[in-house]
Structure 1
Amino acid sequence: MPLGTAASFAVLAGSTVTNTGATVVNGDLGLSPGVAVTGFPPGTVTGTIHVNDATAATAKNDLLIAYTNAVGRPVTATVATELGGTTLTPGVYNSASGTFTINGTLTLDGQGDPNAVFIFQTASTLITGAASNVTLINAAQSGNVFWQVGSSATLGANSTLRGSILALTSITVTTGATVDGRTLAASGAVTLDTNTINRPAVAQATTTTLTSAPDPSGFGQPKVLTATVTAASGTPTGTVTFFDGATPLGSAPLNGSGVATLTVSTLSPGSHSLLAVYGGSANFTSSISPVDVQTVTSDRTQLTASPALLKLFPFPHLEYPFLSAKLTDLDTGQPIPGQVLTFTTGGAFLGTAVTDATGTATLSNPLALIPILLNGGYNVTYAGTPGHQPASAHGGIIVA
């Protein structure tokens, strides 16, 4: 879920930030519009402290946008108020009571997907018991866990919560509690007491590019789509999905160099607007490539019609003409077997024949004698296929 500029903050509040003891905040600390940040030292902040400045104000606005986003997510399941002792898979959860409590251990199972998202919606409070714990298994990431709290959150002593708290009012983190995530309070205070707040790694922006080769390509010819995903530092991981317009062509994982490839041979003749969409990961944002236009062509074809040989002599001997034409793929130089050729003369239909292994089709029609003589020959046409262009030819007549 996008947090905007609020993503860099481990602690963000509206009215005050108050600390007691040796709290460690790993990330930025911000306050807006309040001006009172107390308890640092003895507390320490590894990032930057922003008090009622433009950075804090922007982060506060982004927090409210993210909060609204979380509220509006469709609910996957309504579960019990008490989450302790349960295991949940990715989804959006609320409770009938509008609150959540955690006593004991809540397990979040990512099911092998590092991009799996968990969102917990409360209309009022989130309260965790002393020494309670949220554990992550099977690739679940704290950066993808979000606690949307309609009023205030209170974390019990020596408890461990994983995920980012987006509270509309305030957050109280009691003695010795650890948050592997963020404590973000929109209008009220964040109160700390000898805690550790570990902001998840902020996902880096990525850029995705796409190439396709060969281009142009023939119908049925394999085309290799190559997506490259880059970031300012590190190598993105995850999956790229390739699209022809809005139609998915398939997906492929990024390799160790941030490159994903997909080979396709099903594109129809014409122009195709190809896209590569990188789905992102816990450490890298999603991105979409510019359109790559791939042109798919049909192979050029050639029809060669042999002259119709009409034997009239020695009179009264008569042999009816055989009509013969050969169909060739000009781009490969190979004959095209199994194709239907249509023979006509002067607009009159004479018949059809199918090309053999040599690309040749022959037709014998006794009724064709007079029309062919009157029209000085015959015509043959090929309607074409998605992979081959149409063609036509004229065959003359030889009288012997």
Structure 2
Amino acid sequence: MNELLLRELTPAVIGVLVRRGVDFATAEDAVQEALVQAVLTWADGPPDDPRGWLITVAWRKFLDLRRAEVSRRDREQAVDAEPPAGPVEDVDDTLRLFFLCAHPSLTRASAVALTLRAVGGLTTRQIAAAWLVPEATMAQRISRARRRVEGVRFEQPGEASTVRRVLYLIFNEGYTGEVDLAAEAIRLTRQLASLTDDAETRGLLALMLLHHARRPARIRQDGSLVPLADQDRSRWDTSLITEGVAVLQAALARDRLGEFQAQAAIAALHADAPRAEETDWPQIVDWYDELLRLTRSPVVRLNRAVAIGEADGPAAGLAALAAVDAGLPRRAAAAAYLHEKTGDLANAARLYAEAARSAVTLPERHHLAEQAARIRQTLRG
């Protein structure tokens, strides 16, 4: 049974039902029911026309749902209803569904959940496991999101930038649960890129591929973090790097620079260095300059300061860091790193410990605490 095929067909089937007049929430429920039936009946392989099969079954599931919800008169009309005659419409509504699930009226968490369910074809249980929340909680979140977009006209154009943000959020969630969310985000971004003539979407895809390529070297067996400079680069996935660089080059050739393309360019420069010592830091600083021009992001300003510290020396990096808000997460960690490079170990140890206390994740907290302990041990001689 090809689960990936089912998930790839999900948005197109939902789109057909919506175009036939079925409300979004009911269409999504009907398609989920059809997917369950497909899992049970496709054991020996999919039918010749899997999309048509799913549309037919989903339409019947819709009729079943109508029987349970309408009056006897309406129920009798629904029972008599049949799918429109003729072949299944050869229209792909996936892009519109992307836009609908990332509607600006939704919170980030709701948009992510709805995208994974309606476009990604994941079950509520799978999404809940990936987010480490009870299934009932996730079901309520999805239900609220569906009600929120119920009145949105399906043919209205959406914002590709909003969809990209949602996909990037999914990618950054990591690898918890039975579903690899990073891989799922890459799959959906590939799909979005195939549906749009958009350089920035390809920039996002390149960024995901280049970051994902480093995944095997990023975490030790005990779960601790491995900093980029210390990673075993022989474990990086060269096929993903090659693809990411090719996608990025094609996007940059369009001369429509966006922030994801700039981030991907930085990732590509890291990937291009055989050893950490051979990283082209001056060029990375140039790209951070471009990224800062595009976003004015304090996080970019922080990362730029670290890059300046590598390119021009830690004193220059600390000078650049002085312009970064002292309350920004990870600022203390960046300051600790730069102070250590200047030889100011006492300040470095203090700042590493401070950074550990405010770390967002447990692996990050352990890593920063280990750095503080390492330097204190050095100071004790």
TM-score of the aligned structures, taking structure 2 as reference length: 0.18
**More strand by proportion, 1 or 2?**
1
**More helix by proportion, 1 or 2?**
2
